[in-house]
Chain A
Amino acid sequence: MCLAIPAKVLTVNGQEALITVQGVQRTANLMLLEETVAPGDYVLLHAGFAIRKWTAAEAQEQELLLAEVGYTHRD
């Protein structure tokens, strides 16, 4: 239950962002996030809240993250 999942930010509207996670779009609340986010950034999502940001470049460094968002699985 304490698992958060990576999600890609599509649009930002004040304290909320539209995100896509595992192919599904939903809103994420940004009130817990210390950083500002822009479309294309990635966030770690937990129970409807973004709790950590990665820029697209940082996310790319972590193949893991992109793999998870893109639905492919590797071990």
Chain B
Amino acid sequence: MSAKLQEIQNLLAQIGRPVQLMEVCGTHTMAIFRTGLRSLMPPSLRLLSGPGCPVCVTHDSFLEHALAIATQPNTLVATFGDMLRVPGRSGSLEAARAKGANVQVVYSPLDALAMARQHPDLRVVFLGIGFETTAPTTAGALVAAARDGVKNFSVLSAHKTMPNALSALLTSGEVKIDGFLMPGHVSVITGTSIYEPVARIFKRPAVVTGFEAGEILAGVEMTLRMIAEGRAEVGNAYAHTVTAEGNVKARALLAEVFEPCDDAWRGLGVIPGSGLKIRAAFAAHDAARHFPAPKVDVPETSRGCRCGDVLRGAITPPQCPLFRNVCTPWSPQGACMVSGEGTCAAYFRFS
């Protein structure tokens, strides 16, 4: 590891100016803290956390929709655990559950489908959160529900895809990003080729890497080498797991069930073509078509929470006035403190 660190220092010296890299994936953020890498990095290299924590980027309007569904009679809302405590404009799913709403935590969308089979009297709604790794699993559950006629199973989709969000970040120019560390397991599905536009259009290196300390360092080294040599390419520092073409079968299933739509991201606003909505062929299982969205329009910043700025890399968590004061993992004021891979939670635990 020390040889890699030395090489990173050499490359930074060669580049001769401060470098900012964005780790897009929330799991990378947590791994970089947990392994102590952040403290080992030379001062001229800054690692920024990006918008890759699915729960964190889920917009308040989605949570309000989920809460409205949870309070309907004969309804069961099934969700990944991280969503439970996210504070929305009218409370959290956890608070709704305490008041009697039927909200269950699941590990897989298939668990939610099993609940629907077991309880034909309940309308079971799975909250579809996550990027290209998770969306195909929701697609798998929807295909199984359609095939077996599980009429009481539906999905409220907030699934998102990463490339357009990165383009939006780079287009805004708000934050200087010299290169990207791309998510390892999202890329198992997408392949490395989806990052070509970042490299080609925006002229930034984009390197896929894994989650071990050595793999992350290899990713940083590869990215810095490209910067030093003036190359903006897609690199793969996780080659034993990720290929250029990805998992074609999973992507075909994704395309069968979902189509791109404009979608709202916390902190980034509405990004064209960045969301995944359920196709008309699966309308019977699309919760958005069965449960009307509530009309709420409160500014995101109404509670003083600066999650949105954190998600763009515009500020680090300690720059938020709520951080560590009123916002802690025990009393989170925003999604980035709730999620196990949220940037604020990572800063709270490790810095």
Closest Cβ–Cβ distance, residue A9 to chain B (whole Å): 17
How many angstroms from the CA of A52 to the CA of B55 in the assembled complex?
Answer: 24
The answer on a CB contact under 8 Å between A34 and B249 is: yes
Task: Please tell me if B189 contacts chain A, counting CB pairs below 8 Å.
Answer: yes
The chain B residue sitting closest to A52, CB to CB, is B188
Closest Cβ–Cβ distance, residue B3 to chain A (whole Å): 15
Mark contacts of A54-75 with chain B using CB atoms, 8 A cut-off: 1 yes-contact digit, 0 otherwise: 0000100110100000000001
Among B53, B133, B240, B241, which residue has its beta carbon within 8 angstroms of that of A46? B133
The answer on a CB contact under 8 Å between A2 and B186 is: yes
The answer on a CB contact under 8 Å between B213 and A1 is: no
Closest Cβ–Cβ distance, residue B84 to chain A (whole Å): 13
The answer on a CB contact under 8 Å between B183 and A46 is: no
The chain B residue sitting closest to A45, CB to CB, is B108
Task: Please tell me if B253 contacts chain A, counting CB pairs below 8 Å.
Answer: yes
Q: Which residues of B contact A75 (CB under 8 A)?
A: 35, 212-213
The answer on a CB contact under 8 Å between A2 and B253 is: no
Q: Which residues of A contact B185 (CB under 8 A)?
A: 2-4, 44, 46, 51
The answer on a CB contact under 8 Å between A1 and B188 is: no
Which residues B109-142 have CB closer than 8 A to chain A? 109-111, 129-131, 133-134, 136-137, 140
The answer on a CB contact under 8 Å between B140 and A51 is: no
Task: Please tell me if B211 contacts chain A, counting CB pairs below 8 Å.
Answer: yes
The answer on a CB contact under 8 Å between B240 and A1 is: no
Among B131, B140, B212, which residue has its beta carbon within 8 angstroms of that of A49? B140
Among A1, A34, A61, which residue has its beta carbon within 8 angstroms of that of B55? A1
Mark contacts of B191-231 with chain A using CB atoms, 8 A cut-off: 1 yes-contact digit, 0 otherwise: 00000000000000000001111000000000000000000
Among B140, B248, B250, B341, which residue has its beta carbon within 8 angstroms of that of A1? B341
Q: Which residues of B contact A44 (CB under 8 A)?
A: 185, 188, 241
Among B107, B133, B188, B253, which residue has its beta carbon within 8 angstroms of that of A48? B107
The answer on a CB contact under 8 Å between B248 and A64 is: no
Task: Please tell me if B329 contacts chain A, counting CB pairs below 8 Å.
Answer: no
Q: Which residues of B contact A58 (CB under 8 A)?
A: 240
Interface size class of A (residues with CB under 8 A): 20 to 34
Task: Please tell me if B82 contacts chain A, counting CB pairs below 8 Å.
Answer: yes
The answer on a CB contact under 8 Å between A32 and B247 is: yes
Closest Cβ–Cβ distance, residue A34 to chain B (whole Å): 5
Task: Please tell me if B348 contacts chain A, counting CB pairs below 8 Å.
Answer: no
Task: Please tell me if B339 contacts chain A, counting CB pairs below 8 Å.
Answer: yes
Given A32-B137, A49-B136, A75-B35, the answer on whether A2 and B110 have CB atoms closer than 8 Å is no
Q: Which residues of A contact B133 (CB under 8 A)?
A: 2, 4, 46, 51
Which residues A33-57 have CB closer than 8 A to chain B? 33-34, 44, 46-49, 51-52
Which residues B132-188 have CB closer than 8 A to chain A? 133-134, 136-137, 140, 143, 183, 185-186, 188
Task: Please tell me if B27 contacts chain A, counting CB pairs below 8 Å.
Answer: yes
Q: Which residues of B contact A51 (CB under 8 A)?
A: 133, 136, 185, 188-189, 247, 250
The chain B residue sitting closest to A74, CB to CB, is B212
Given A29-B110, A47-B109, the answer on whether A64 and B212 have CB atoms closer than 8 Å is yes
The answer on a CB contact under 8 Å between B249 and A33 is: yes
Give chain B's interface residues, CB within 8 Å of chain A. 25-27, 35, 52-55, 80, 82, 107-111, 129-131, 133-134, 136-137, 140, 143, 183, 185-186, 188-189, 210-213, 240-241, 247-250, 253, 339-341
14 pairs of residues in contact across A and B, judged by CB atoms under 8 Å: A1-B80, A1-B341, A2-B130, A32-B136, A34-B249, A44-B188, A46-B133, A46-B134, A48-B109, A48-B111, A49-B108, A51-B250, A58-B240, A61-B240
| Additional 13 contacts, C-beta under 8 A, given A49-B136, A52-B241, A75-B213 | A1-B340, A2-B25, A2-B186, A31-B143, A32-B136, A34-B250, A47-B80, A47-B107, A47-B108, A48-B107, A51-B136, A51-B188, A64-B210
